[in-house]
Amino acid sequence: MAKKKEVKSLSEVTVRFAGDSGDGMQLTGTQFSDTTALFGNDLNTLPDYPAEIRAPAGTLYGVSGFQLHFSSSDIYTPGDNPDVLVAMNPAALKINLKDLKPSATIIVNIDSFDAKNLKLASYASNPLEDDSLQGFNVIPVPITSLTAAALEGSPLSTKEVTRCKNFFALGMMYWLYGRPIEATLSWINQKFSKKPEIASANAKALKSGYFYGETTEVFATSYTVEPAPLPKGTYRNISGNQATAYGLAAASVKSGLPLFLGSYPITPASDILHELSKLKNFGIKTFQAEDEIAGITSAIGASYAGSLAVTTTSGPGLALKTEAVGLAIMTELPLVIVDVQRGGPSTGLPTKTEQADLMQAIYGRNGEAPLPVIAASTPSDCFYMAIEACRLATKYMTPVILLTDGYLANGSEPWRIPHVEELQEIKVKQRTEKEGFYPYSRDENLARPWAVPGTPGLEHRIGGLEKSHIYGNVSYEHENHDFMVRMRAQKIKNIENDIPDLEVRFEQEGDLLVLGWGGTYGAITEAVLCARKEGLKVSQAHLKYLNPFPKNTAEVLKKFKTVLVPEINLGQLSRILRAEFLVPVVNFNKMKGLPFKASEIEAEIMNLLGGKQ
Amino acid sequence: MANNIDSNEVKLTAKDFVTDQDVRWCPGCGDYSVLAQTQRVLPDLGLPKEKIVWISGIGCSSRFPYYMNTYGFHTIHGRAAAIATGTKLANPELSVWVATGDGDLLSIGGNHFIHTCRKNIDLKILLFNNRIYGLTKGQYSPTSEKGKVTKSSPYGSIDFPFNPVTLALGAEASFVARALDRDPKHLQYVIKRAAEHKGTAFVEIYQNCVIFNDGAYSSLSEKDTRDDNVLYLEHGKPMIFGKNKDKGIIVDGTTPKVVSLTEGKYSVNDLLVHNEFDKSVVLAYLLGQMSNHAEFPTPVGIFRQISKSTYHEDMEKQIQEVKAKRGEGDLEKLLFSGNTWEVK
Ligand code: SF4
């Protein structure tokens, strides 16, 4: 009979699961997140996996990790430095050690610390036996052999049994943080309903891990992290890509337009295609095209025919779509382009995050080719920004680029689910009146009429050649081109009257404003809150509209002595701000394929305000 | 139903399909004939104008939509088939046509072309093949013959050309045909057959560019040579050609051969009989290749027409199946699906 163990209460914890890419770490992390979300904590996650699908086992470059930060109060980031590392092999230990808090707990699977794996991880000696882990609270657990022992008599092969070890580790972690195992048990039963032997083995491994924590002396203490006091409502955990897909589906319902997605698989955007492909009962048509160009051009063809048309991609794909984006601008057809940014240039770092497509999105086309560019700031915000992209596209008859990034796409957070009636309607006019119809006449928003094939009496021709104002015939007239170029620019510029002002959090003027955009929202928010706790006067603003900017942007910028702009690029927004508003802004940049840590930004704030670092 | 679109028949004339735009091709260009023949055929389809869409890429022939009084979209180089795909899938009620050239469809747009054929997207593709780049003023194209001297190949092109018919057959197009700009009646017939086909209908039209490649097809169109050089493919008929109908095609093993019907060795009964609907692609492929070799006449007409489900039909079917299985999409349910919890 086990002694009653001590239970300590914590306000927040950051955990990282790490192992081979075949060890199921993403799944383990996702399960822990879902259970933690169900438990009522606020949380934020950072999956980090290699580009190779199954890199050779035991290698440093094959390590896959999943970090999550959960708390009894609001949190904004996946946590800077883990309090706990679960390392399934020496490579996972080696890669992740440098990120840990000085006194972090390390749970290691000692079964994998054999000569071969140590060598693969380039360890000259076993770190568990020398003093290289001094200061850490190392908990060695023979996870592989304990799993095998628990599953003795199972009909599964040795290899299959070994693969259950991640559930053993998960069970142990559930016990350690006082989480119930039921949600994962029912997930296992559902997931492996067709393979009952595997279901029961995984379930058994999970329970054994849990009981191992409870009954053995290995862990002296377990922890609780109380639920966070979130606003009232029904919640679910949601990733950025799923939120984007749901936002697009919602926009289709709210606009009454059928959704057409033309897309080509690309990391890290493919999950949007996957999600929407499941939703055929919404009448959604997904077309997996032969290439990126056909992805967008099929969407343009569908938009021409009256659908709510979308293409989803990442940076290299956006580059390929460039010419077609110009066509949509020239023919003034509504289109939503989602760019889930990843590390570039070229193939770059497909599975890592970056914000370096901003210039490409705003300027990357031949000719004067403006379009609205908007960006989501958190995983769940992708839902609302996807709807917003659809609203702008159909209202102004223009392609719109929605920027998200790998961190938002794969990261997740609890989301208070909105009811359908809370969502804004998207009013769309498709022209049917014959009287006075001209393809390039304009309404009060400077949008041309959307006259879709099939409408009697409105037969007309559009195309990529410059068209005459109002009548829409091919025109090489100098004056007309000058007029039309300015008209298209004005149409986009006017959108500033239709979007919210840039909001400043805390002092409305002062010494320092931290201004970000996109996926850096969480890290900046946490950094600013921490700095303010230290007594520093620092304000925060976050741009969700990058083109056009909110109308009050210039005004906001001028109210602060210093504007700090942290970006995961070499200063793209900073350049645009300087060019547009003639204000000096201070860059803060990092390009490691990773999101900012809040502490990095906080240090920069301290630095600028002359505080201690 | 003279078309494959469900619609009440309307009575229109060729004139109804003429726009108010001046046609700007060079005088004598073969494009004029294709435009005229198409405008003559469209009324026969019985479709109202608003249900017809012409989509083109870039090149001389891609100006086509501006001259056709239907819905029209002059897009970007090479992408017409992909754009037309989106239009057709978004609204299967439309009759969607692609006007394109050899550079547009087979060079920059080659990928979209083969995949459109493979997926059996219900598009009617008219390839204006003049074997040259006209709009950019005379460079060799992917269908120019090897050795062709042009501005970009002053010492002769070293490219092997594509044969559009065999390319389409290889890409599993369900309707593959060829016609000549200079034979208006036959061109009309082929276009009409294409319109009636369900699935990707590909028509290669030999089109004369009077400015940069004049006479490329003269042996097929001049009175004194054409009968000896053109083989009209007709379903169920033996393959006879020649001014005096005195030559025919036989197959020896897998090799086609031209034989004389006057020397007593072969009679009509020995000749190959055309089967447009052959399940096997072999015969159509053999015929397609004949235009690569000078000793053979150039076959025109319908090489092959097969029936298979179209992409939009399968797409609609799948949507209906999923609806039947999972019920009509309910957004509220979707948003509240998965693991949820209440915060009170
Ligand atoms: S250049 Fe040739 S193909 Fe082009 S319009 Fe003139 S004749 Fe016709």
Contacts of B261 (CB under 8 A, 6+ apart): B240, B245, B246, B247, B248, B267, B268
Judged by CB atoms closer than 8 Å, whether chains meet at B55 and A301 is answered as yes
Which of B:297-326 have CB within 8 Å of A? 315, 318-319, 322-323, 325-326
Measured in Å, residue A510 CA sits from the centre of ligand 1 at 67
Q: Among partner residues A233, A301, A418, which is closest to B90 by beta-carbon distance?
A: A301
Mutate to test the interface with A, among B42, B69, B89, B94 (most CBs of A within 10 A): B89
**Residue B255 contacts A where some CB pair is shorter than 8 Å:** no
Q: What residue type is A199 in one-letter code?
A: A
Average pLDDT of every residue of chain A: 95
Question: Half-sphere exposure of A512 toward its Cβ, with a 13 Å CA cutoff?
Answer: 24
Question: Which ligand 1 atom is at minimum distance from the Cα of B128?
Answer: 3
Question: Ligand 1, atom 5: nearest CA belongs to which residue?
Answer: B25
How far does chain A reach from its first CA to its final CA, in angstroms? 50
Distance (Å) from the C-alpha of residue B316 to the closest C-alpha of chain A? 9
Q: Which residues line ligand 1 (CB under 6 A)?
A: B 25-26, 29, 31, 60, 130, 134, 209-212
B89-138 residue pLDDT tens = 999 999 999 999 999 999 999 999 999 999 999 999 999 999 999 999 99
- pLDDT, residue A612, reads 46
Report the CATH fold assignment for A236-422: Rossmann fold (3.40.50)
**Which CATH number goes with the domain that contains B61?**
3.40.50.970
Q: Among partner residues A183, A324, A420, which is closest to B332 by beta-carbon distance?
A: A420
B34-69 residue pLDDT tens = 999 999 999 999 999 999 999 999 999 999 999 999
- pLDDT, residue B6, reads 73
User: Kind of pairing, strands A63-71 and A12-20?
Assistant: antiparallel
A228-265 residue pLDDT tens = 998 999 999 999 999 999 999 999 999 999 999 999 99
Judged by CB atoms closer than 8 Å, whether chains meet at B73 and A461 is answered as yes
Measured in Å, residue B63 CA sits from the centre of ligand 1 at 11
Q: What share of chain B is helix, strand, coil (3-state, %, to 5)?
A: 35, 20, 45
- Domain assignment present for B201: yes
- pLDDT, residue B2, reads 57
What value of ipTM does the predicted structure carry? Answer: 0.97
For residue B213, is pLDDT > 70? yes
Chain B residues touching A320 at Cβ < 8 A: none
**Residue B85 contacts A where some CB pair is shorter than 8 Å:** yes
- pLDDT, residue A1, reads 45
| Count of domains observed in chain B | 1
- pLDDT, residue B87, reads 98
Distance (Å) from the C-alpha of residue A176 to the closest C-alpha of chain B? 22
Mean pLDDT of A121-127: 94
Mean pLDDT of B188-203: 98
Judged by CB atoms closer than 8 Å, whether chains meet at A461 and B74 is answered as yes
Question: Ligand 1, atom 2: nearest CA belongs to which residue?
Answer: B209
Q: Among partner residues B70, B319, B331, which is closest to A253 by beta-carbon distance?
A: B331
For residue B315, is pLDDT > 60? yes
For residue A266, is pLDDT > 70? yes
Judged by CB atoms closer than 8 Å, whether chains meet at A302 and B340 is answered as no
- Domain assignment present for B225: no
- pLDDT, residue A27, reads 95
Mutate to test the interface with B, among A33, A234, A236, A281 (most CBs of B within 10 A): A281
Contacts of B31 (CB under 8 A, 6+ apart): B25, B60, B61, B64, B128, B181, B207
Judged by CB atoms closer than 8 Å, whether chains meet at A290 and B340 is answered as no
For chain A, residues classed under CATH 3.40.50.920 are 504-609
Judged by CB atoms closer than 8 Å, whether chains meet at A294 and B112 is answered as yes
Mean pLDDT of A427-434: 96
Q: With respect to CATH, is domain A504-609 assigned 3.40.50.920?
A: yes
A574 to A528, A563, A566, A589: CA distances (angstroms):
19, 10, 9, 10
Judged by CB atoms closer than 8 Å, whether chains meet at A301 and B85 is answered as yes
Please give the angle made by the CA atoms of A402, A408 and A413, to the nearest 5 degrees: 125
Average pLDDT of every residue of chain B: 96
The confidence band for A51, taking pLDDT boundaries of 50, 70 and 90, is confident
Distance (Å) from the C-alpha of residue B138 to the closest C-alpha of chain A? 21
| Domain, as residue range, for B77 | 14-216
For residue B249, is pLDDT > 90? yes
Q: With respect to CATH, is domain A6-224 assigned 3.40.930.10?
A: no
Mean pLDDT of A506-522: 98
For residue A218, is pLDDT > 90? no
- pLDDT, residue A5, reads 80
Contacts of A72 (CB under 8 A, 6+ apart): A10, A11, A12, A41, A42, A225, A226, A227, A228
Residue closest to A169 by CA, chosen among A17, A6, A21, A14? A17
Judged by CB atoms closer than 8 Å, whether chains meet at B342 and A235 is answered as yes
Q: Which residue has the higher pLDDT, A262 or B344?
A: A262
- Domain assignment present for B240: no
Judged by CB atoms closer than 8 Å, whether chains meet at A233 and B342 is answered as yes
Q: Is B109 exposed, middle or buried (0-12, 13-18, 19+ CB in 10 A)?
A: buried
- pLDDT, residue A3, reads 56
A397-424 residue pLDDT tens = 999 999 999 999 999 999 999 999 999 9
Rounded (10°) angle between helices B31-41 and B184-196: 50
CA A364 to chain centre: 23
User: Kind of pairing, strands B240-241 and B230-233?
Assistant: unpaired
A462-477 residue pLDDT tens = 999 999 999 999 999 9
Q: Edge-to-edge strand order for the sheet containing B247-252?
A: B240-241, B247-252, B255-260
CA–CA dist B132, A421 (Å, integer): 58
Distance (Å) from the C-alpha of residue B60 to the closest C-alpha of chain A? 13
Chain A residues touching B318 at Cβ < 8 A: 280
Q: Among partner residues B83, B84, B111, which is closest to A291 by beta-carbon distance?
A: B111
- pLDDT, residue A611, reads 60
Percent of chain A with pLDDT over 90: 95
Q: Judge if pTM exceeds 0.90.
A: yes
**Residue B94 contacts A where some CB pair is shorter than 8 Å:** yes
Please give the angle made by the CA atoms of A599, A605 and A606, to the nearest 5 degrees: 90
Question: Which ligand 1 atom is at minimum distance from the Cα of B28?
Answer: 7
- Domain assignment present for B261: no
Which of B:219-238 have CB within 8 Å of A? none
**Residue B69 contacts A where some CB pair is shorter than 8 Å:** yes
Handedness of CA A8, A9, A13, A16 (dihedral sign): positive
**Residue B100 contacts A where some CB pair is shorter than 8 Å:** no
**Residue B340 contacts A where some CB pair is shorter than 8 Å:** yes
